[in-house]
A and B are shown apart, each in its own frame.
Chain A
Amino acid sequence: MIDFERTLGRLLIGLTYVATALLVVGVLLMLASGISPLSGGPQLDPAALPIDLVTLTPAGFLWLGLLAVIATPIGRVIAAAVGFARTGEHGMVGVAVGILVVIAVAIGTAVAGS
């Protein structure tokens, strides 16, 4: 049980550093391109992300970093669900699944309303 929580902690820290690194690269590319932070950034276009990353476009790294930031706690809940399933804590697995369902509904509602 102790190792399970430690693993979750390390996962959170690791993902945070990955997200930070992506944002730092995006900000450095913004600086190099002379883009002002108040100039109004582009909307998220998932289809354009790979091309933006290959062509070193600042918005690509910034969006990937921001998605990583938002995904970090969600990833922790998924990992916790797997951990609880292994230890036979079915009630906690249900709680974790419930959290993921609420987040999915939040995203679905927002996408439908936008």
Chain B
Amino acid sequence: MADWILIIAGGAAAGVFGSLLGLGGGVLIVPLLTLGFGLELREAVGVSLVSVIMTSSAAAGVYLERHVADLRLGMRLELFTAIGALVGGTIAFLLDERFLSLLFAALLVYVALSMGRSSISETETAGSDGRPYAVRNLPLGIVGATWAGVASALLGIGGGIVKVPLMHLAMGIPLRVATATSNLMVGITAAAGAAIYLARGEIDPYVAGPTAIGVFVGASLGSRLAHRVDLRILRWLFVVVLLYTAVQMFLRATA
């Protein structure tokens, strides 16, 4: 019974954090399953991809209904994130698990640093929301989207941590639109990767079911809590958790 509670509660915690901080939750689900429950990294990545699709689909549906997401830009970039996911999902099975763990530890440090920086620049970027915009630097966007797809399928993340800054800073997309469009794209990126893990028998339904439900409930709760929580404190707490998890993943890789 303890396993049940821990898996669902862990998934819910990942969902709450992910939802409050604009992440899919993959950066927390993979360490939870590998460090907490002893799953192999590839199996945890498969479960994480399914959970990420579930939370992103519901959110993307709302963003489309409210016309916040840029469907046409999102689909153009999706083509390249899907190609990246195809490449990432294929090479994931050729790489050593320890190397993947090291890559994941590096990703966690990158996310932690991005989170630390964004808490400072948040007020500067929020003002551009809602204004008409023109997409610029599409070739750079295509390269970045492809890389986000590779990272997603390799490490079980949605890739929003790459796509949102790319669209906002490099392509001139307002932050709110970039976040919504990234959420829309995450579904296809993760679906391409998840299909590969599914076909290779790396998704365990007994782990994936409870985890995905936990993440879904947590993400729904997080969206309701957003206006009651001091995001600055939460962001710094998250940075500490990410750095601690990065150290644990590094130790696991080098053990």
Asked if A77 lies at the interface with its beta carbon under 8 angstroms from chain B, I say: yes
The A-contacting residues of B in range 185-232, CB under 8 angstroms, are: 187-188, 190-201, 203-210, 212-213, 216
Partner of A23, one of B3, B58, B209: B209
Asked if B131 lies at the interface with its beta carbon under 8 angstroms from chain A, I say: no
Number of A-B contacts (CB under 8 A): 187
Also in contact, A95 and B79, with CB within 8 A (given A13-B58, A35-B206, A107-B196): yes
Interface stretch (choices B16-24, B59-67, B96-104):
B59-67
Query: Using an 8 Å CB-CB cutoff, how does the interface string of B43-67 with A read, 1 for contact, 0 for none?
Result: 0000000100110111011111111
Interface size, chain B (Cβ < 8 Å)? 56
Residues on B lying within 8 angstroms of A by beta carbon are: 3-4, 7, 37, 50, 53-54, 56-58, 60-67, 71-72, 75-76, 78-79, 82-83, 85-86, 89-90, 93, 187-188, 190-201, 203-210, 212-213, 216
Interface size, chain A (Cβ < 8 Å)? 60
In terms of DSSP, what is the predominant structure of the interface of chain A?
Answer: helix
In terms of DSSP, what is the predominant structure of the interface of chain B?
Answer: helix
Complex CA gap A65/B211 in Å reads 13
Q: Which residues of A contact B82 (CB under 8 A)?
A: 99, 102-103, 106
Partner of A74, one of B67, B85, B191: B191
Q: Which residues of B contact A113 (CB under 8 A)?
A: 90, 93, 200
Q: Is B4 touching A13 in the complex (CB atoms < 8 A)?
A: no
Complex CA gap A63/B10 in Å reads 21
Q: Is B86 touching A41 in the complex (CB atoms < 8 A)?
A: no
Also in contact, A38 and B206, with CB within 8 A (given A13-B61, A23-B212): yes
Also in contact, A62 and B206, with CB within 8 A (given A37-B3, A73-B57, A111-B199): yes
